[in-house]
Amino acid sequence: MKVLKFQKKGEFEVAAAKPMTLQERILQIDHIQARRFAKLQGEAVDIASEGIIRHLRACAKMDVNPDASAVREIIDDALNGRRVFAETSNDLLAA
């Protein structure tokens, strides 16, 4: 499969990224945490999903790789019913 196809000087086509599930994304970070996430049920899934998505967005914004230990902490806290992030209605306050 060709990823880049040059057309004109300075222009090129890039293959579109395939959408992936949160489970697949966690698997790319750490297979052990992906197995732990798959076992979550009920409220713990919601807490962990929201925390991991926030972590992934923050990493993308800062242009760094997601941290497996941060994902582990988010899952641990979700199992204990704790949200590790502040809930705000204003995004400026979250920074």
pLDDT at 1: 47
Q: How far apart are CA 78 and CA 67, in angstroms?
A: 17
The residue ranking higher by pLDDT, 15 or 25, is 25
Question: Does the pLDDT of residue 83 top 90, yes or no?
Answer: no
Mean pLDDT, range 40-66, rounded to an integer: 94
Contact between 42 and 81 (Cβ < 8 Å): no
Mean pLDDT, range 59-75, rounded to an integer: 95
* Confidence tier at 18 by pLDDT (50, 70, 90): confident
Mean pLDDT, range 45-53, rounded to an integer: 94
Mean pLDDT, range 33-50, rounded to an integer: 95
Q: How far apart are CA 95 and CA 88, in angstroms?
A: 10
Q: What is the pTM of this model?
A: 0.71
* Confidence tier at 2 by pLDDT (50, 70, 90): very low
pLDDT at 13: 62
